[in-house]
């Protein structure tokens, strides 16, 4: 029987936790609830609840005094999320968008983007990196203010 691996945990919040836990493990060798709480700006009580949920889902192992580790499935999902994050960041950086805006947009986009669309974005990023002239043209065009198109049938925003 073929089991289709889950692309994400199925929950934006759980994805954010898995992403954060893997970042912490890679940076510090371990993840603690207090660091997750600080990095995600979420109360420690909420973090504890979510860790319990992730444990129940088989995505993390949370031992009270030993910290948090990812199961194989948890690590696979976290890696996929981080890979999407990095691809989308690389793409948006090509256009000189402000880092804070990029981070904000990527955090929203990464949970919803499908594998085929991500592959297209990666291919476009590769092509633009290889074609500085085209990239420069796109950057210039995107900086121009465009006239706002109004239709009589649409209410004024
Ligand atoms: Zn992210």
pLDDT tens digits for range 82-114: 999 999 999 999 999 999 999 999 988 988 888
CATH placement of domain 12-76: 1.10.10.10
Report the separation in Å between the CA atom of 92 and the middle of ligand 1, taken as the mean of its atom positions. 14
Report the separation in Å between the CA atom of 106 and the middle of ligand 1, taken as the mean of its atom positions. 6
The residues placing their C-beta within 5 Å of ligand 1, an ion, are 85, 110
| Alpha helices (H) in the chain, listed in sequence order | 12-28, 33-40, 44-56, 72-93, 99-109, 115-129, 132-143
Q: What is the pLDDT of residues 16-47, one digit of tens each?
A: 999 999 999 999 988 999 999 999 999 999 99
Fold adopted by 81-142: Diphtheria Toxin Repressor; domain 2 (1.10.60)
Provide the percentage of residues in the chain whose pLDDT is more than 90: 68
Report the separation in Å between the CA atom of 156 and the middle of ligand 1, taken as the mean of its atom positions. 35
pLDDT exceeds cutoff 60 at 155 = no
Surface-to-core class of residue 154, CB atoms within 10 Å of its CB (0-12 exposed, 13-18 middle, 19+ buried): exposed
Report the separation in Å between the CA atom of 52 and the middle of ligand 1, taken as the mean of its atom positions. 22
Q: Where in the chain is the domain with CATH 1.10.10.10?
A: 12-76
Maximum separation of any 2 CA atoms in the chain, in Å: 64
How far CA 41 is from CA of 15, 74, 144, 151, in Å, comes to: 15, 21, 36, 42
């Amino acid at each position: 029987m073929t089991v289709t691996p889950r692309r994400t945990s199925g929950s934006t919040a759980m994805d954010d936790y898995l992403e954060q836990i893997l970042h912490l493990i890679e940076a510090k060798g371990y993840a603690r609830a207090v660091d997750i709480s600080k990095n995600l700006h979420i109360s420690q009580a909420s973090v504890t609840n979510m860790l319990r949920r992730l444990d129940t889902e088989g995505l993390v192992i949370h031992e009270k005094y030993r910290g948090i580790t990812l199961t194989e499935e948890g690590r696979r999902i976290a890696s996929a999320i981080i890979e999407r994050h990095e691809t989308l960041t690389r793409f948006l950086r090509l256009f000189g968008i402000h880092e804070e805006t990029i981070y904000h947009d990527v955090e929203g986009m990464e949970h919803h983007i499908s594998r085929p669309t991500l592959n297209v974005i990666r291919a476009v990023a590769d092509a633009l990196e290889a074609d500085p002239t085209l990239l420069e043209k796109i950057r210039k065009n995107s900086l121009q203010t465009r006239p706002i198109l109004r239709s009589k049938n649409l209410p004024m925003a």
